[in-house]
Amino acid sequence: MNLTLKIWRQANVDAKGKMVTYYITDVSPDMSFLEMMDMHNEQLIGNGEDPVAFDHDCREGICGMCSMFINGEAHGPDRLVTTCQLHMRKFKDGDTITIEPFRANAFPVIKDLAVDRSAFDRIQQAGGFVSVNTSGNTQDANAIPIDKHDADKSFDAASCIGCGACVASCKNASAMLFVSAKVSQYALLPQGKVEATDRVINMVNQMDEEGFGNCTNTGACEVECPKGISLENVARMNREYLTASLKG
């Protein structure tokens, strides 16, 4: 396939970025999107030009690093896949593909398509954990009976990979889907109940401090999420937050 790529180039956080047009030939439909980007970068390097910076790590849909806005959609046109799992067979010979970073005030551009998502780390650090007594009397987690329905819901929430597609897809740049997944995975389990009040208050406060927008229930986040995180987690987080606020 021969393709036209329109890629956002930005030297650093303070630089004024712009779309730059490139042409790439001999792209195999069996390549992953990132392999196509690698091939493009090899050509740029061969021409003595600066390669396009983009994040990636596992390339198997589990780390959440690959963050590209492709033809106006986070992670591109396929559903329930990350950019690294997107294949070039989803495009046609002669197509023009527009590639931008995940845009949000709370995700400043580092360079080109790479954005700083450390705001998510700080939200996690504010409460996305369970404290465990390691004195030697720790109860084996498998010894605590858990309703199958709750275990399944918790596992679904825990499949959030922290990619930020929900934020990039939201007109308000809201992080509610991400934060609600992290709150829900603990709220549903007995192990998470002990710190539930502080957890939801601290994580929501940190989310607001980082500058993410408010949720207005448009649902774009759920549509674009590569892991199918459900909006019911947002409803659960709102209930958890209300309960915690009344206790506080």
**Contact partner at residue 227 from ligand SF4, ligand FES, none, CB < 5 to 8 Å by partner kind:** ligand SF4
Q: Given 3-state DSSP classes, what are the helix, strand and coil percentages for the chain, each rounded to the nearest 5?
A: 40, 15, 45
Task: Give helix 196-209 / helix 118-127 axis angle, nearest 10°.
Answer: 160
CA 53 to chain centroid, in Å, comes to: 18
Binders of ligand FES among residues 105 to 164 (CB under 6 A) are none
What backbone phi and psi angles, to 5 degrees, belong to 6? Answer: -110, 110
Contact call for residues 52 and 36 (beta carbons, < 8 A)? no
Binders of ligand SF4 among residues 196 to 235 (CB under 6 A) are 225-227, 229
Tell me whether residue 166 or residue 183 sits nearer to ligand SF4 (CB atom). Answer: 166
| Mode of pairing for the β-strands spanning 69-70 and 18-24 | unpaired
Selected range binding ligand FES among 77-85, 121-129, 173-181, 205-213, rule: CB under 6 A: 77-85
Tell me whether residue 83 or residue 169 sits nearer to ligand FES (CB atom). Answer: 83
Choosing from 82, 169, 185, 197, the residue that interacts with ligand FES (CB under 6 A) is 82
195: how many CB neighbours lie within 10 A of its CB?
15
Binders of ligand FES among residues 38 to 67 (CB under 6 A) are 56-59, 61-66
Choosing from 52, 65, 109, 163, the residue that interacts with ligand SF4 (CB under 6 A) is 163
What backbone phi and psi angles, to 5 degrees, belong to 181? Answer: -65, -45
Chain positions contacting ligand FES, by CB under 6 A: 56-59, 61-66, 82-84
**Contact residues for ligand SF4, defined by CB under 6 A:** 160-166, 177-178, 181, 225-227, 229
